[in-house]
Structure 1
Amino acid sequence: MNEGDTVKFTSTVTGYTGTLSYKWDFGNDGSIESTSTEVTKTYNNNGTYTVNLTVTDNTYSASDLETIIVKKLFNVTITVKNDSGNIVTDADVEFNNIHKNASDDGKASFLVNSGTYELRVKKSSYITYYNNSVEINSNKDIELKLKYDENDYENPKITLITPDQNQKISTDSVKITYKVEDDSEVNCSLQLNEYLNSWVEKGTHENPEKNKENSFTLLGLNSGEYKYKVKCTDRYGNIGFSDIRIFYVEINSLSSSAGTAEMTKQDEDINSIIDKINGLLTEFEKLDKEEREVFETLEIQKKLDNAKTELSRFKRDLNNLIWRNLNETELKEAEIDIYDQIENLKDEIPTSLSVIDSTEFVAYPKDEDIENITITYLNSKNSKYSKKQEKSFIEGIKELQSLLTVTTKAKVVEISYLSNKKEKITLIEKELKINESSNGLSLVEYIPKEIAKDTSEIEFLFDYETILNDPLISINIKGLDKFAYYLRKEIKLEDIKKTKSVLITGGEIPKGNQITGFGILTNLKSGFISSDNTRILIEVLIIIILSLVYIGYSIKGTKTKYYFGDRKSLKNLKEIKRFIESAKSELDNHNYHEAKSFYRNINLIFKNLPQDMKKEVYKNIVTLSHKLDLFYINKLLDRAEFSIQNKNKEVAISAYNEITGLYKRVPLEYKSLVLEKCNKLRQSLSGKNVN
C-alpha cells in the first residue's frame, strides 16, 4: 500500500466460549489503540508496521500478527519542450502505463513508488520520445525535448465537387472538379472505372492549387454509367483518394439541331445486333458445368458487354457523319469503314459453344525436365554462373517442387460466332495449390512444339514474361490460384501432358555483391551519404549482431532454462513481445514512424536479455525489421516517382540509392513485391525521360 492509504481491519474467530473482547495494538508496543471488532486506520508515512490483535473469551486468549508495508510516493513532473526549448502543449505523456496530456505549461505530473518505469511521449509532427529505464527513488523533475519530424505521414485529402452523385448528363462531355489539401506538393490524377473495378487514369495534374477548385474534362463520352475518383500523391509518397462517385451520360443520338429525326436503317441494323447479344446472354445461362467453365475462363460475358459498347459507338459515329464536311465519295468511304468494323466485330461475338472432348490430370515434372527448364531459365538472365552455383540452384528448385500441385484441365471446344464463322480451340487451364506463401516465387511454363511452334500461336489469358519463343514463359503467381491459355486449333489431349509447370524462385543466383533479382544502377551520385543512410548502416550492424547471436545458439545445440528469479529480464521479454505486436499494428495502419519507434525500443531492450530469451524473439524481430524495410522501400519508390514527375532528378537518385541498401537486406519473398517498381525506377533514371 502507499502513503495516505486507509486500511480496514477485521478478524475471524472460531472455537471460543462466552463473550469475546478485542485489543488492537498497531505498534506492537503494548499500547492498545482500539477494542472494537473492526478498526479503520490511515498510514500517512512510509515504513513497515506490525499489527497485533489479541482476542479473549471467558477462558483463553489468542493473538495474531500482521505486517503492513507502506510504500513512499514520489512526485514525478515531466516537462515537454521542443528542440528550440519552447513548451509543447497537449502531448500524450505515458508514465507507468498511465496517460496524461501535457498542460499549457507543458507539464504532466504522476505519483509513483520507487522503481524503474517506462516513459513515452507522443505528439503529432514530432518523433516519439521513449525511455524504458527511468529510475525513481525520490521526487523528480524530468525535462525532455521532442525532435520535430520533418517527414509528412498524412495522406492528401481530396474533396469532389462536381458532378454530384448519380447526376445525369445529357452531353458527351463532363467537367470533374475537386479540391485537395496537403502541406506539400502533390500530383493528382483522374481515375475512371471502365470495367469490373479496373481503374484507368484519364488525366493528371502536376502540383495543382491546394484548397482551390481544380478540374478535369472528359470528352467523347458514350451513354452509360461512369464511376470516377481522384487520386493524389504528395512528395513523401503518401497517397490519398477521394470518395467514389457515379454519373450517368444520357445522349439522344437520334436528335439533331433541327429536332428529332426518325430512326435510320443503320440504327435498326445495329440495334438488331445488340438485341441478339442480349438474347445470347439468356442462352448462355443454359450451359452445362464444363461449358460454363469455358464461358467464364474465356470471359465471354466481358466480350459481349464490350461488343455492345462498341456497337453503340459505331451507331454514334454513323449518325455523326452528317455533321462532318464530307463530299459524297468521302461519306461513302467513311460508312464502308464503319460497316467493315462492325463485320469484323461480328467475327468476335460468340453465339454458342460446346465441349467436344476433355481431360483432367495431375502431373509432376521429372528431374530431367526440371534441370533443362532451370538451365534455360538461368541462361535467359544473360549472366554467367559457375557449375557449382548452377548445381546448387537446380537442387534447390527440385526441392521446391514438393510445395506445388498442378491440376491440368484441357478441353477441345467448338465455338460459333455471329458472323456464322466456326472454329475449334483447345483450352488449357491449370489450377495451382501451393503449400506455403507464393511471395518471391514464379512458375515457368514449358509448352512443347507439338502444341505450339512459338508464343504467337498461343492466346494467354494472364500476364506473363517470355523466356524463349519456343515457347517458355514465366508467370508471377503471387495471389494466383489458376491460369489458362488456348490455341485456335484442335490439339490431341494426350499431348497436353507434355506441358510442364516448374516452380522457381523469382531471383537469380546470388553472386558476390550482386543484388538478387534486381538489376542495379551503379555510381549514382548526389546525395548518396545522408542521415538516412547512416540509419541504414546502424540497422545493418544490429541485424548482423542478432544473426551472430542466433548462429551461436544453433551451434550450441542445447536449451538453457530461464532463470525465473530474474524478474526484470522476464518483464523485458514480455515488453519486447508487446512492442512487436504494436509495431505490426502500426504498420498495418500505415504508421511507419510509430512502428519504427517501437522497433528502436525493441533493440534497446534486446541487448540486455539473457541469451536463452534472445533466441525466443530473435526471428520475430528480424521479420519485423524486414517488414519495416519493405514499407520504407515503397515510401522511397513513391517519393522517387513523384520527383521524376516533377523533373527533380537529384531527389529521385537519392531515394534510389537508399533503396539499393535496403533491398540487399530483405529476403527474396520481399524483393519480389517491389522488383517491378524498382526496375521501372532504374530504367527511368538510366534513360532520357528525366530532365
Structure 2
Amino acid sequence: MNNSNNRKIKRNNSILSISSLILILIMFSGFTFAENETNETTGTNLTLDFDNDSYNFAIDCDDSNPNIFTNMTGYLDVDGDGFAIGEFTVCTNGTLPENYYEQSIIGDCNDEEGLINPNTTEVLYNNIDDDCNPATLDNLEVSISISKSEYDIGEEVSYIITGTPNSNVTIDLESPNNYYDYQANYIEQEMPIIDSILTTSKIGDYTIKVKLSKGEYFEEANATFTISNSIRTNIEGDKDLIIGEELEIEASASGGVAPYTYSWNLDDGNVKTGSSITHTYSDGGNYDVILTIRDSQGNTKTKTIDVDVDELYDVTFVVKDLEGNLIKGVEISADDVSGTTGSNGIIKLSLVEGEKIIFAYKAGYELFEMSKDIDEDQSIDIRIKTTDTTAPKITLSKSSIDTDSGDAIIGYRVDDSSKVSCTLFINEDGSEWWNEKETQESITDIGEFKLTGIESDETYYKIECIDSEKNSAYSDIGNIRYVKIDSSKSDESKEYLDIIELELINIKTLDIATSKVYDALHIKEALQVAKKDFANYDQRMYSLLNEDCIGTSCDNRDFEIEIEELDNNLDDHKEKTILTLNILNDKEIIDYPELNDVKNVLEPFLKSINKTLTDKEFEKLAEKNYGLQSYQNIILKIYDIEVTYLDGDIEKKTLIIKKLNINGSSSSQKLIEFIPEYLSEEVEFITESKNLGEHMFEMDSDLDEIAYIIPLRSNKEDFKPWTMLVDESLPSRTPTGYFIFNLNSKDSIKSIMLISIFLILISIRLLFYFDIHKKLNFGKAKKDFHQMNMLINDCLDYLDAKDYSKAVLIYKEIRMSYEKLDNNVKSKIYEPIIKLVEILNEDFIKKNIEQNNKSILDNILPKLSADLRNKFSPSIEGKR
C-alpha cells in the first residue's frame, strides 16, 4: 500500500516538475525575447542557456548537461593498436573521451584484439584474418564426395577429395565392428585426390574420414555409405507333390563373395545341406522350407518356399444314361488323370485331394461336366444323355422396325429342347456383320435386344442362337428404318410464320420512298414465299409425326431426304430472306456519259466479244455509240440501307435502282451495265443479267428498271455505274482520204469527181449537224428530257401508292414544264405523257366507281380528256 502511494507521489512530483519547467521556460522565454537580443532571421533567442554552462542552446551540443557543450571529431580505437574502425563526432567538454583519438588510421577489422590489424603479418591457415586482408589464405578447406550412398557386396567405392593444395591428407575407413583396416596417407598432395576402396565385402554402414593438415592446423570431412545385402538365390524344382513322391530341389546363389554354403530346413524336423537335395515326406500337408545361404565373408541370406504334399484317394465312377442303363466306353477325366469305363460302366481313378473338374464324354452323348471336392475314397454316379443335333428355331417378332428416336427393341422367340445363348449381329452398309450386344444366356422361350443411338438411315440385324450341343442357327434378316424428326422445328416454324405475317401487314403502311426500295428488292414477294414454305414445312412435319406413313407403306420414300430438304429450305429463308429494311441515306443522280465515258465502256465491251478495231474505227464506233445515249433516259437512285434477315442478322448495303426510258433502240444494240472494277466482284444483281466479263453485264433492253446491291459505301460521289446502249457494228463507210489519193494517175478525172462528191457530202453533213445542234441545243434538250421523265415516274409512283391527289399535282407540273420544251423534246416526250394521262383517267374512273359518284364521272372526266387534247395535240401536230 505504501509502495503504491510512493509511486503515485513520485509520478505526481514528476508531472509537477515538468509542468513547472515548462511554465518557467515560457515565462523566461517571453521575458528573454522581450529583453534580449534575438536572431534577426529566425527570431531565436541567442542567449538562452538551459544547463547554465555559459554556452547557449544554439551552440551547446547538449544543453541539458553542463559538463558537455561542444562537438569534437575523433577516431574510435578500442584495442589501441593504432587502427580505428571509423571516424565519429561526439559531444564533449572539450576533451575526447576514452578510446577516441585525434589521429588514427581507419581499417581495423577487429577492434577488440590488438594483434589483429593491417600491420600484422598473416598467420596462414589459422582461421583468423590477422592482417585484415580477405585475400590472404586464412582457412584450410577439405571435402569428400562419393558416387552413391549404397553399394552391393564387393562393389568398388570411388571417392573424390578436394581441398587446400599441397597439404597432408590422411584417409581412414570406419567399418562395422572395425572389420576392415583401411588407411591412406598423402604428403604435400595436389588436389583433387581420386581413389577407391575395393574391400567392401561386409554388410553394414561405413564412414570415410578425411583429415587435411598444414603444420599444426587441420580440417576434417566425412562421407558415409552402406553395403547392402545383395545376395540373390534361385530355387528350381517341383514343389507340388503327391504323398510318397520325392522332392527334388536345387539352389544357386550370386551377389555375395563366393564360395557359398546352403542349409535347408525342411519343416518336418530334418535339415539338409548342399546346393541340391532330395527328400520324401511321410505325411501330406503344406511345408515351409527355409534355405539359408552364407558367403565366404559371413554374409547370409534366407528364402522360404512352400512345398505342398497332397493325399491320394481312390474314386469309383459309375456311368449310366438317363434311363439308368450302364454305359461302356465313357472317358472319365480329372486334371491329368483319365480312364474309360468297362462293360459294367465302372472305372476307378486315383485322384489327388482338392476341388476337381470332372468330365465324362462319349461320341453320341452330350459332354458331362461337374465339380467335386475330393477329400476321401468315394464312389460317384454320373448320368449322361444322348446328343441333341437339332438346331434352334428363331422367329423375329417384327421383320421391319421403324424408329424416330434412335432406339429400337428387337424381340424374338426360340424353339429348342435346351437352353440357348443368343447374339445380335448388326450390318449398316450391307457388307460386314458385327456383334452389337453381349450374348444373352439361358434363353428358353422369348428374348429381346434393345438398341440405342441408331443413326444410319437403315440398319439390318439378325440373331444367332446356340444350344448346349453347339447346334446353331440364324434368324431371318430384319431391318430398322430410322426417320429423324425434330419436332422443335415445327414449333419454330410457327414462330416465324407469326413474324412474317406481322411484317406483311406492316409493309402496307410504308411510305412511298421505302415502298420503292421494298419493291426493288422484292421483299414482299420473298416474305410471301417464305410464309408458304414455313406453312408447308409445319404441315409436312405434322404429317410425319402423327400419320401412319412411316413403315412398309412408304418403302419407296426417303423420309430422311425429305426432312433434310425441308430443314435446308427453312434455314435458307432464315439466312437470306429480308424481314425489315431501314433507309439510312438516299441520293438521286442524273448524269450523262461523256465521249470518254463511252470509250471506257466500249473498249472492254469489244474485248469481251473478242472484236479488234483500228484506232480510227474505234473512234468512229465511239462517236456512234455516244450518239445512241440520247435515246435513253436514266434516273439513278442510290440507297444506303440496313436490312434485318429472318434469323436476326443485320447487314448494311447499298442498293442501286435505275429507272430506264429507252426510245428507238434496235435489235443490234445491247443494254450494258458497266460496274467499276473495284466493285465488279461484289455486285449482286436483283434484275436478271448476263455477265460478259470485263466487269460488264448485259441487261434486257425492254426493262424499265435495273436494280442491284453492292457493299455499303461511305462515299458515292465517285461511283459511276454507267448504263449504256452499245452497238458493235461500225457506221456506214465513206471514202477515206487514203482511198481517194491513191487512185491511178490515169484516172485523174475520176479522182477529181470523187473528191468533189466527197467535199459536197462533208459540207452537207456539217450543215446538217450545225442546224440540228442549233435547234436542239443538245445538252439542254437532253437534260429537259430527263427531267420530264423524272416527273412522269414520280406521278406513276404516287398512282401506285393510290395517292391520286399528289399524282394530279405532279401532272400539273408536267403541263407547265411542257410549255417550255423545245419542239424536238416535245415530240420525244409526247407518247409517255399520253400514256400517263390514260393511266390517270383509268385510276380516276376506278376511284370514283368505288365512291359511286356518277356525276363526277360524267362531268370531270370529259373535261380532263378535252384538256388533254387541247393542251398537247396542237403544239405537236406538225411535228409527229
Tell whether the structures are fold-level matches, with TM greater than 0.5. no
TM-score range, shorter chain: 0.3 to 0.5
Q: Please say which structure displays the higher CA radius of gyration.
A: 2
Compute the TM-score of the two structures, normalised by the length of structure 1: 0.32
Higher helix share: 1
Compute the TM-score of the two structures, normalised by the length of structure 2: 0.26
